[in-house]
Amino acid sequence: MSSIRLACWNVNGLRAISRKGFFDWLQAEKPDLVALQETKISGDQLTAALTAPPGYVSYWSHAERRGYSGVAIYTRHKPLTVTEGMGVARFDCEGRVLAADYGDFLLVTVYAPNGKSGEERLAYKLSFYDAFLRYAGKLERQGKKLIICGDFNTAHKPVDLARPKDNENVSGFLPVERAWMDRFVKAGYLDTFREFDCRPHNYTWWHMVTGARQRNVGWRIDYFFASLTLKDKLQDAGISAQVLGSDHCPVTLTLSL
């Protein structure tokens, strides 16, 4: 039985992280697929070194606003098709969703909006969530087996952040955001990391300014979700907290094929 290794990473600026060892990590780990969020790059800023590292081809969805948002997929295996966006202009203009169909599964990389800047942006985030759930449901009805990964910008449960009591009224852990995560899981998507590890103190994002990473005062907001139909294919899922270069760390998933 063969297996496929996937990684997902909010790089907080691809050009910045490329100067901090991203491509060294890529060549050392050699995952089959790497989904990125917050690339913060426009199409005219891409170079051959960024788009075609040895052994990989890449696909991109850019935000209209320069230096903002953006998602990408590096892959060692050319997909059957690649689709940008969800078909909703007010979200697609921010470069937040990219899907690659591999036949056995469809990989979706997603960068959910951050709702911390105010009520208007929180409302946008919640609307994005609802649109994304409809989008995923449509793909499921087409018979697709989904692997959905990315920065959801919400810690689902108290175990998923270091200080849940202190953050009950902070976007990223609001009851309304967590309720949507409940709906998402109930719709048939497995939190793959929790299929293998239910322990606390496993985080994927740390506030940079306060030195939170050194103290492991973090949040788990980056996920690999999988359709229930892929449950028997899951081999392993992990968090690579030791990998530096961004305020997020990579998360990983291994599947049998």
Q: Please indicate whether residue 92 or residue 211 has the higher confidence score (pLDDT).
A: 92
pLDDT confidence tier of residue 117, bands split at 50, 70 and 90: confident
Find the helix or strand (DSSP H, E) in which 9 lies.
strand 3-10
**For the chain, what is the mean pLDDT?**
97
The whole-angstrom separation of Cα 140 and Cα 22 is 33
- According to the model, what pLDDT value does residue 108 have? 98
Render 58-95 in DSSP notation, one character per residue.
EEEE--SSTTS--EEEEESS--SEEEES-S-HHHHTT-
Two tokens at 132? Answer: 């994304």
- According to the model, what pLDDT value does residue 1 have? 56
Q: Is 232 exposed, middle or buried (0-12, 13-18, 19+ CB in 10 A)?
A: exposed
Q: What percent of the chain has pLDDT over 90?
A: 96
- According to the model, what pLDDT value does residue 209 have? 87
Per-residue pLDDT of 131-182, as tens digits, reads 999 999 999 999 999 999 999 999 999 999 999 999 999 999 999 999 999 9
Mean pLDDT throughout 57-66?
98
Tell me phi and psi for residue 20, to 5 degrees: -115, 20
Render 147-195 in DSSP notation, one character per residue.
EEEEE-S---SGGGBS-TGGGTTSTTS-HHHHHHHHHHHHTTEEEHHHH
Two tokens at 238? Answer: 């992990």
Active site residues: 151
Edge to edge, what strands does the sheet with 33-37 contain? 57-61, 71-75, 33-37, 3-10, 251-256, 234-239
Mean pLDDT throughout 80-87?
98
Q: What percent of the chain has pLDDT over 70?
A: 100
- According to the model, what pLDDT value does residue 257 have? 86
Q: Indicate the fold that domain 3-256 takes in CATH.
A: Deoxyribonuclease I; Chain A (3.60.10)
